[in-house]
Every structure is written in C-alpha cells, then in structure tokens.
Amino acid sequence: MIDAQLQQEIVLRSEDRVGVLAEIARVLSEMGINLLAVRLRSIEGEAIVHLLTTSQSYACEALRDAGFELSQRDVVMLELPHHLGFLRRVSEALARKDISIDDLHISVPEEGKVGVVVLTCSNNAHAIQILRGH
C-alpha cells in the first residue's frame, strides 16, 4: 500500500537572477523550516520554484515578508520504494483509470530505500484513492 497524500505546494515566481535559490533557502533556514522537495525552472528570465516544506504556512508567510510573489497548488506527494519497476506500476495504475500525469519530479538517493515523488495530474483526489489501494 502506498501512502499518498494531498499537499499544498508553494509556487514562487521571481526574476531569474544569480542567488535567488540561496536567498529562498536562507529565508527558510532562518525560520527553522526544512525543505522536503524543491524544483526550480528558469523560463524566459523568470525563476519558478516549487517548494514543499515542513511548515507550508510559515514558509509562505516568511517568503512573502521577504518580498517574493507566490501561490499554492494541490499536488500528490508519496514515497515509493526504491525497487525496479515501482514507478511503472504507479504510472500504469493511473493510466488504466485515464488519469493523466501533468507534472512529476522524483528524488531517490542511489543507496536509498525510498524516493519522494511529487506529481500533479488530471484528478489528484482520484489518484490518491487509486495509489492508496495499490
């Protein structure tokens, strides 16, 4: 059984400049907030940073106070065992129910036992039900 959870991901937008991620990390670390997942994309002069932290509400407040523009979106977060074919099983289970994955990022240490998966799809709530039953 997979422990899939609906989470609110912070989506921060900033001018793409050297040190923007360092500034974000400093703001959060000074507040004692740990990062669980981070994804950064640079698109046409804009940095788009997706964050999951140990305290989303405090992170939002601290980042807004630091002058960052942000919003939140629902994502599915789960930990997958680091076994051959496990992502295949998950993605096939969603595909069988006609759920399209829109965005996905995974981090798995090479010697780790689990990987953290963050995804959005055509129906996050239904995806959680499917994954919990898998």
Which pLDDT score, from 0 to 100, does residue 84 have?
Answer: 83
The answer to whether residue 2 sits within a structural domain is no
Which pLDDT score, from 0 to 100, does residue 34 have?
Answer: 93
Which pLDDT score, from 0 to 100, does residue 1 have?
Answer: 65
Same domain, 82 and 115: yes
Which pLDDT score, from 0 to 100, does residue 134 have?
Answer: 66
The answer to whether residue 1 sits within a structural domain is no
Q: How many domains does the chain have?
A: 2
What CATH number has the domain bearing residue 125? 3.30.70.260
Residue 6 CA from chain centroid, whole number: 11
Of the residues 52, 72, 92, which one is the last residue of a structural domain? 72
Same domain, 13 and 65: yes
Same domain, 16 and 68: yes
Residues spanned by the domain of 53: 8-72
Same domain, 67 and 94: no
Same domain, 65 and 12: yes
Number of H helices, E strands in the chain: 4, 6
Same domain, 54 and 14: yes
What CATH number has the domain bearing residue 45? 3.30.2130.10
> Residue 73, CB half-sphere, CA atoms under 13 Å: how many?
16
Q: Please give the Cα distance from 97 to 44 (Å, whole number).
A: 36
Residue by residue, pLDDT tens for the chain (134 residues) are: 678 899 999 999 999 999 999 999 999 999 999 998 899 999 999 999 999 999 999 999 999 999 999 999 999 998 888 888 888 988 999 999 999 999 998 887 777 788 888 999 999 999 999 988 76
